[in-house]
Amino acid sequence: MAIGERIHHFRLLHSFTQKYLGKLLGFNDMQADVRIAQYEKGVRSPKEKYLNALAEVFEVSPQALAVPDIDSYIGLLHTLFAMEDIYGLYADEINGEICIRLDKSKGTTYLSMFDMISAW
């Protein structure tokens, strides 16, 4: 998931409008929603100071917004966080063993993921 999609996801999770989020980052009324829309569409990438500010607003680490690098443990963990947010995949414990589970409340996403993971 690209950084713009992550920003969009976390913005909706917090029920923020683009304008409200832009103003939280310090953009003026004329630029606030435009700048966030550009980030979400991938037209622009936030500079490091804005990436850090977004992470602070969303109460996540900056790595949670960046495109994860699955060649590192931190990147892999953030990929798993994204899979939880998007597909309802989460870690759980059964009889002292860690396992991956699917959130049944995700409806059709649950059924698709169930079929694919079963085939895996």
Q: DSSP for 74-97, please give it.
A: HHHHHHHHHHHHHH-EEEEEETTE
* pLDDT-based confidence at residue 8 (cuts at 50, 70, 90): very high
CATH 1.10.260.40 fits 3-65, yes or no: yes
pTM: 0.66
Backbone phi, psi, residue 17, to 5°: -80, 165
Question: Can you give the pLDDT at residue 25?
Answer: 95
Q: 66 or 8, which is more confident?
A: 8
- In percent, the amount of the chain with pLDDT more than 70 equals 98
Q: Which residue, 87, 110, 106, 85, is CA-closest to 7?
A: 85
pLDDT tens, 9-68? 899 999 999 999 999 999 999 999 999 999 999 999 999 999 999 999 999 888 888 777
Residue 78 banded pLDDT, cuts 50, 70, 90: confident
| Residues 100, 112 contacting (CB under 8 angstroms) | no
Residue spans per domain, the chain: 3-65, 73-119
Pair 18, 33: CB distance under 8 Å: yes
